[in-house]
A and B are shown apart, each in its own frame.
Chain A
């Protein structure tokens, strides 16, 4: 192996090759993006298929309906009667109904604090013990009192109650069925599932009084709209961009379209012509949701615990009634009930671009990896360049001549000195910036929500002034003894890009979309260099960098959301809500998107800007070297 490597690595010293890397990394970026855009084409995406044979979706008759509709209506009356009651009263009533059906009931209190607000509530849940079963496995049915948009989920609740009562009549369940009714969709399920796995902070979240076996899957029903519906919208994004097993989505889609004859849609693409643009749009929306990594529905909190979960939302005006959705859930539960093993066959890493088309990790990962690779390439290139930086320094002839005449010993020593890299300053600069990243992270996670917007504004201003400040400080500090050489800048950039590439490539395996988006926005960083003479270029590039700085991107995103998102709101309010959501995710869901932005992206951006503003003292390199000697 060393032999091969020596062949490969000796080439790196070829001066002609030394010109190549910038173009190479540019190529990486272009190919990476192009790769992503190619994915929706038929040749690169695949049709979905069920790989877990035990699921047998749509192979069973579903009997929910008939007189169960009368029961459903009755339950809906009960639910309506509770609409304006307090959380506790609601749970008391629900508990009565559950006990009437003959279930084991438990309740759980929780309180969360985030961005100065306090969120609290009480979950109620009921366990339908599988007849002949042994509390080893369980399936979860979630019907939140309010959905993510704070709409009253009245039909969903009534349906869940009617279904549970219907399920109790069957003797074929091999797994317990747990019906969870959290008061809201954002933290109730989180508290519940945390406590179920004893990963909860006992001071904020109460433990569960009764438990069942290992959770095998979870379906959340979100049915606020009245009347009949046309198709069901399958929400599958989990916290931190984790996804449920593809088999689960496939079976639901399969049952819905194959057995019930109802349409199904993804990522709010109500009308999906299975063409390139729609596929691309679906994929990009999916990537955006994944990259943000927030909880898209009550199901999201299950996924980090390796419990595959989705939310079903009836949408549109059609001829399917509540019983239809009930049969869909019944069919899905029968499929999950068939499972012998935990879902593991199919994909966990995929991008869906149509309910029946997807790309798997092997196909899409290269695009993110290429983006990450471009940083690494630049890092290696700069390292090598800094290795014999003096070649391109003007004073090289004056140096090389005596060298040839001197004795080997002297050459030896000089050489040692010339190959010397002054690592201290670059390392401390990069490390300092990295640690500095903890500051905004802390600030934005501990500011009360009403102050978020002003603090953000202040921070953005500081962010503008930081790079000039830093580079000025550097110049000042090093002016007297050693000026800052080009090598210092190259090395700092090299290290920061190395770190960036490393973080992004690790992140790409955890949350592909986030890595891709951050990588894309950070691409200008790989082409930063000091322009000692050329002030225009310098300021142009600084302007560009400021356009893609984290703060600008956040503000722009918030503005876009305010403009096109649901509900009318001003940009300020939008910024507040975005930051609030981020803090909430950080505190409640353990969402690490803020960490990535402030501790991975921002430091790299900072170093990049400092490099651009750098004024390397090339004129006095001569005595620099004498000093080093």
Chain B
């Protein structure tokens, strides 16, 4: 044991002093209304570009690094997301939404290539390699799902002007992809501590994918600090919103059976309150929770490779909220009084307990004491289909600018599948909540129409919405019917339409608050588009029926064209046999009718 320690400690010190600044990780906890908890994990490590070119990876995952080098990727962003962020009650998004993607898997990268074809080819290689690496079907991002955004995505890294010239931005999204544990495991493998120690040891598939909303992000970008040499930075983040009540359930008994009557939290102020009558009050009172409860395991020390100056765990709660931690933990409060961080000894287990705060009796606590009020986002966005039936429909996006005084400018980008034929001339905007506003909110349109079976629609709008107003953006589309081989196995479920990406541009006003000085992102929910379906069971019947119809028409006409007329009694004698009988019968009947007709005169 002793020898072991004596062996490990120098190594640890060594690592600290040499690579300390090259890797750090941090967990930010933020209680939200309705007993929800936002946990955002942030892992960042970087390696100098020279080392990277020399294939000399330290913290940078080799598996990823080699792919990037192979396809000449200068900057890469990969997102795995699930669920929806409830902006109405949770407020602004973590990281200003820059580290989240639309539902499913989203990928965009800047590739270095001389021509578009080369870029496409490299993109194909990249997606295939990544799909292998992350067990996600990224290889389904084909030409019809790839777009080249013009205004929406801004490069985050510092690129030398030499490369900027021939860098191609490609963007692809798979709304149908269901993110799950098999994506988490490779994600953790990329970390230096591989989920064995430090905050990453809290990550558990069951809890992560039971969260109401979660987003895993990987960003790789070159960063050039002013004084020293450029480094390639990889940042991995996981953001999740846990429903505390749900995640507190033990794993062996996850079924939400009704609690015993006496455990119900009732509102005893009701007149009819009795033993068998209980108006539930649990929604008013906050939950009590502990770190190991909500994550299902305890945090095993810190990752020995991390920067010791960075406290691994922070929680955003007002000082009035009492928080108990395990022994040996030092608490650092921020001057704002709204958040505090904890330094954790490297080898001890760390836990965190937040007791319920009673809202009654003396020293009753209010919500303000319990949690930090979530700040309102810059923009609310909601998108839905209009109309019904499987012939045509419309899309309606409701964009609300909540701020009372400042207008918001953003870029609204839609990437739609080709079989959703949109009519751009039906694009309309209607503004509510403000009177006498007559300038067009759409400042600029970039539109690339879809080509059947070749590429999807790409629509980018630069819009500016005046303060305290709501804009309704609507356009019509037509649902095209596909070849029966082009439908998925569950054709009647419909096709997922990717979320639209909203990039809020940094405000140019001189007196703008810091929150508005940087770009922030926002994504609507994805949509389910139901197309008309043919009958999959009868290709043969259809082919036969149609061919018969054609043959009958053709044969009938040519039959009349090629034969010559003779009177019924002329021409060759009627042949014997069945055919003869039939013809005889026909002519007999014909004679009758003609007789009848003859009498007319």
List A residues at the B interface (Cβ < 8 Å): 1-3, 6-7, 10-11, 13-15, 63-71, 73-75, 77-78, 100-102, 104, 129, 131-137, 165-166, 169-171, 197-199, 210-214, 305-306, 340-342, 344, 388, 390-391, 396, 399-400, 403-404, 406, 411, 414-415, 418-419
Is there an interface contact between A136 and B277, defined as CB atoms closer than 8 Å?
no
Using CB atoms, name the residue of chain B closest to A212: B384
Is there an interface contact between B245 and A169, defined as CB atoms closer than 8 Å?
yes
List B residues at the A interface (Cβ < 8 Å): 34, 82-84, 86, 88, 103, 209-213, 243, 245-246, 255-261, 263-264, 266, 270, 272-273, 276-280, 283-284, 382, 384-389, 394, 396, 490-494, 496, 525-528, 530, 552-553, 555-556, 559-560, 582, 585-586, 589-590, 592-593, 596-601
| Chain A neighbourhood of B388, CB < 8 A | 197, 199, 305-306
Inter-chain pairs besides A1-B553, A131-B83, 11 sampled, C-beta below 8 Å: A3-B559, A10-B589, A13-B589, A67-B264, A77-B270, A131-B243, A199-B387, A211-B382, A341-B490, A391-B599, A418-B601
| Chain B neighbourhood of A102, CB < 8 A | 34, 283
Counting chain B CB atoms within 10 Å of each CB, the highest count among A197, A390, A414, A418 belongs to A197
Is there an interface contact between B601 and A400, defined as CB atoms closer than 8 Å?
yes
Is there an interface contact between A137 and B597, defined as CB atoms closer than 8 Å?
no
Bound Cα distance from A132 to B387, whole angstroms = 26
Bound Cα distance from A199 to B388, whole angstroms = 8
Is there an interface contact between A388 and B386, defined as CB atoms closer than 8 Å?
no
- Decide yes or no: A133 and B260 within 8 Å by CB, A74-B278, A342-B493 being known contacts: no
Is there an interface contact between B261 and A70, defined as CB atoms closer than 8 Å?
yes
- Decide yes or no: A63 and B258 within 8 Å by CB, A6-B586, A15-B596, A418-B600 being known contacts: yes
Shortest CB distance A448–B (Å): 33
Shortest CB distance A400–B (Å): 5
Q: 10 closest pairs, A vs B, by CB?
A: A403-B601, A13-B593, A66-B258, A169-B256, A198-B386, A341-B492, A136-B528, A74-B279, A70-B278, A197-B388
Bound Cα distance from A198 to B389, whole angstroms = 12
Bound Cα distance from A220 to B263, whole angstroms = 31
Is there an interface contact between B525 and A68, defined as CB atoms closer than 8 Å?
no
Bound Cα distance from A306 to B394, whole angstroms = 17
- Decide yes or no: A388 and B243 within 8 Å by CB, A66-B257, A214-B494 being known contacts: no
Bound Cα distance from A101 to B496, whole angstroms = 30
Bound Cα distance from A68 to B83, whole angstroms = 28
Shortest CB distance B458–A (Å): 22
Using CB atoms, name the residue of chain A closest to B388: A197
9 contacts between A and B (CB under 8 A): A67-B263, A69-B276, A74-B273, A75-B279, A102-B283, A134-B526, A136-B528, A400-B598, A404-B601
Using CB atoms, name the residue of chain A closest to B82: A132
Bound Cα distance from A536 to B89, whole angstroms = 82
- Tell which of A3, A14, A171 touches B246, judged by Cβ atoms closer than 8 Å: A171
| Chain A neighbourhood of B528, CB < 8 A | 136-137, 213-214
Bound Cα distance from A3 to B579, whole angstroms = 13
| Chain B neighbourhood of A419, CB < 8 A | 600
Is there an interface contact between A166 and B258, defined as CB atoms closer than 8 Å?
yes
Is there an interface contact between B589 and A14, defined as CB atoms closer than 8 Å?
yes
Using CB atoms, name the residue of chain B closest to A214: B528
| Chain B neighbourhood of A64, CB < 8 A | 258
| Chain B neighbourhood of A7, CB < 8 A | 582, 585-586, 589
Is there an interface contact between B280 and A165, defined as CB atoms closer than 8 Å?
yes
| Chain B neighbourhood of A74, CB < 8 A | 266, 270, 272-273, 277-280
Using CB atoms, name the residue of chain A closest to B255: A63
Shortest CB distance A222–B (Å): 24
Using CB atoms, name the residue of chain A closest to B271: A77
- Decide yes or no: A77 and B493 within 8 Å by CB, A13-B589, A134-B526 being known contacts: no
- Tell which of A14, A100, A198, A414 touches B593, judged by Cβ atoms closer than 8 Å: A14
Using CB atoms, name the residue of chain A closest to B246: A171
Shortest CB distance B257–A (Å): 5
| Chain A neighbourhood of B525, CB < 8 A | 134-136
